[in-house]
Amino acid sequence: MGVDFESFNDVLKHPIRRKIILALSEEKGLAYGELMNTAEVSNTEKFNYHLKILGDLIKKDKNGKYNLTEKGQLAADFLQKFPEKKNTQMPLGMADAALIGLAGAALTLLNPVFLFSAFLSQQNFGIPVAGFSIISVCFSAYALLAPGIVMWLLTVKRTHSHDMYDLFKPALVTLALLLSLLVTMMLTKVNPVVTLSTPTVHLSQYASSHQSMYMSLSAEVANGIVCAFVGIAIVEFATRIRKKWRLRR
């Protein structure tokens, strides 16, 4: 496989292939097993795949040892002159955790599905029964994902790490804020409720029927307390799975 200008970046973007190139640049003539250990790969099928992708950047001599070709040496020079940017990991401070947690709490309370439902209820807008299910799914999906994704992104960007303790620090702040609000609502007996109804069906001259769905602010707050943690866990799990999948390519 020949590596040309257009494929050069794709070939070198994988960390395993970069390790192979740099290892052969530092030490000439590495045997298969030596190169595999240096690249920190345990799966031979995976390692053979990366060797194949490197194509004419590497070559094997008559003794079965690997070396860089002229093009491979140019690739090594490029990697050495333009090293990867390494971000310094740092713990998440309490001030940052408080701000990120506050953002998570605000996003929980500003659930657009809840606000839109409140608007529809004021307009006496009749909603089909199937619409109730759609609204419930959208409400839960936003509560589960939006605050969690934002808090996860802000935490990872600030710390440059995926330490679970740091990731859940903001969620603890969100929990404290939402729990305080929930207790306050219970003590003051303030709990705005949104009522959505289906169009009224007249069964007879004297009877009519409709179905209703109720959404309360207290339920939204209680839901957000759990979703803050679950949402972060889902995003982190998906990210780790994605990284493992990319490394296997």
pLDDT in tens, 115-161: 999 998 888 888 888 999 999 999 999 999 999 999 999 999 999 88
pLDDT (0 to 100) of residue 194: 92
Among the candidates 49, 81, 113, a domain finishes at 81
Which among 101, 107, 233, 100 is positioned nearest to 154, based on CA atoms? 100
Task: Say whether both 53 and 13 belong to one domain.
Answer: yes
What span, in angstroms and rounded, lies between the C-alpha atoms of 185 and 213? Answer: 21
Stretches in the chain below the pLDDT threshold 70? 1-6, 84-87, 203, 205, 246-249
Among the candidates 35, 50, 81, a domain finishes at 81
What span, in angstroms and rounded, lies between the C-alpha atoms of 143 and 109? Answer: 9
Task: Say whether both 75 and 162 belong to one domain.
Answer: no
Task: Say whether both 76 and 182 belong to one domain.
Answer: no
Among the candidates 52, 81, 110, a domain finishes at 81
Q: Are 106 and 170 in contact (CB under 8 A)?
A: no
Residues 231-243: tens digit of each pLDDT: 999 999 999 898 7
Per-residue tokens: 175 = 């929990």
CATH code of the domain in which 27 resides: 1.10.10.10
What span, in angstroms and rounded, lies between the C-alpha atoms of 65 and 33? Answer: 10
Domain count, the chain: 2
Per-residue tokens: 41 = 């790969």
pLDDT (0 to 100) of residue 85: 65
In a domain, residue 216? The reply is yes
pLDDT (0 to 100) of residue 105: 96
What span, in angstroms and rounded, lies between the C-alpha atoms of 131 and 133? Answer: 5
Task: Say whether both 74 and 106 belong to one domain.
Answer: no
Task: Say whether both 77 and 100 belong to one domain.
Answer: no
* Long-range own/partner contacts, residues 179-187 (CB < 8 A, 24 or more apart): 179/225, 181/221, 182/218, 182/221, 182/222, 182/225, 185/217, 185/218, 185/221, 186/218
Range of the domain at 137: 94-248
Per-residue tokens: 72 = 């491979």
In a domain, residue 152? The reply is yes
Task: Say whether both 66 and 40 belong to one domain.
Answer: yes
